[in-house]
Structure 1
Amino acid sequence: MVPGDSAILSNLRRGALEFCVLAMLRDGPTYGFDIARHLTRDGILMASEGTLYPLLSRLRKAGLVDTTWQESTSGPPRRYYQLTESGAGALDSFIDTWPPFRDAVDAALTEGEHP
């Protein structure tokens, strides 16, 4: 990475991370630690799990996710997150919007390149 990359990455994450979390909940309730492990595996989408729980709290307050507590065989009860109907709608809107946005950014970045 060159200097400045972390600021760029931080700004890009800010706009997309919540939708990545919503997408992870598409198939059913998911334990917060599993979400964190998945999103931090390459350090691109999320640098540490410390940013996940405030994000999940905001998504819950916005009505995009619900939570439930489930007993665990290996410790205390765990909080699971699940997509609400509003969350599914927000995710669908993002999925529809992302490809043209991504394509426009790609086009702008490559415009004027010489073969």
Structure 2
Amino acid sequence: MKAEAQALKGHLDVLLLATLQDGPRHGYAIKEALRDGSGGRFDLPTGTVYPALHRLAAAGLITGSWSTVDGRRRRSYRLTAKGERKLAADRGNWREFATAVTAVLERRPWPATP
């Protein structure tokens, strides 16, 4: 089942930042990394991904540069230092949130212990 963009609301930015953790990618490669990394569940339309990338760039979390490959211009993005800090903080917040949700759904005491 493919996730709708609405289901990812609030999580899309951190997922996009995570796709850039290993280095720069062009826009379509980011979209593919999100899809592949989620086993096909996050196969989002470009109309969702590109505006989010522009928003992240405007916030100073990523930066982009243009290149020409096989005669076609494409924009590649990379994390900024600010983006790396944001990704680290959001990962910590996500782990805490996921632990709390798991504790409620599985009726385990919080914080859940592995």
Q: TM-score, normalised by structure 1?
A: 0.79
- Counterpart of 2:64 (choices 59, 67, 71) is 67
Aligned residues: 106
- Larger fraction in helix: 1
- Give the SS at the match of 2:93: helix
CA distance in 2 between counterparts of 1:44 and 1:86 reads 28
Q: Which residue of 1 aligns with 2:90?
A: 94
**RMSD over equivalenced CA pairs, Å:** 2.3
| In 1: Cα distance, 2:43 partner to 2:13 partner | 11
Matched, 1:31 2:26: yes
The aligned counterpart of 1:107 is 103
Question: C-alpha separation between the residues in 1 aligned to 2:45 and 2:34?
Answer: 9
What's the TM-score once normalised by structure 2's chain length? 0.79
**Residues of 1 paired with 2:43 and 2:59: CA distance?**
21
* Higher radius of gyration, 1 or 2: 1
Percent of pairs with identical residues: 36
Which segments of 5 or more consecutive residues in structure 2 lack a partner in the other structure? 109-114
- Which segments of 5 or more consecutive residues in structure 1 lack a partner in the other structure? none
Deviation of 1:93 after TM superposition, in Å, equals 0.1
Q: For the Cα contact (< 8 Å) 2:61–2:79, is it kept in 1? A: yes
- 2:17 partner amino acid: L
Measured at CA, do residues 81 and 59 of structure 1 come closer, stay the same or move farther in structure 2, by a change above 3 Å?
same
